[in-house]
Amino acid sequence: MARTSPTTQLEKIRAARIKLEKEEQRLMLRGHDKALAQIVQIAHTAGLTAAQIAQAMGVKGKVKTAAKTSAAKTSKAKRSTAGKKVAPKYRDPAHPDNSWTGRGRMPQWVQALHAAGTLSSAEIKTAE
């Protein structure tokens, strides 16, 4: 009969421990899910809000409800200009193909003009 080394035995024990810890987490989560379902049902029946429950539990800060969260996302999306095309505000005098909208990180050619104090010479004049 072959003997196993202490290192091999330790690896087997560690693997078994990891497997047991995962099973423990799974069982705890299943218990948590059942408890949460009961809590939600009781709160709904009693007409309690998430904020009232958080206050009773001593949670500090604001509790976001689904209605407030979706309203905040909607209003924020309306204000956002991210992803919208903007006309360029500056054009590189040395290389006319290069332009910059004035947003985001400054290209090196803009940095050089800015350092020289001649950035206004690169502004694109708009016809009004």
Segment 11-22, tens digit of pLDDT:
999 999 999 999
pLDDT value at residue 104: 87
Residue 80 belongs to some domain of the structure: no
The answer on 10 and 56 residing in a single domain is yes
30-50: average pLDDT? 85
| Domain around 25 | 6-61
Residue 72 belongs to some domain of the structure: no
Measuring CA to CA, which residue among 43, 45, 66, 67 is closest to residue 55?
43
| Residue finishing a domain among 45, 61, 77 | 61
Segment 107-126, tens digit of pLDDT:
999 999 989 888 888 898 87
Number of domains composing the chain: 2
Buried b (16+ CB within 10 A) or exposed e, 53-86: beeeeeeeeeeeeeeeeeeeeeeeeeeeeeeeee
31-55: average pLDDT? 85
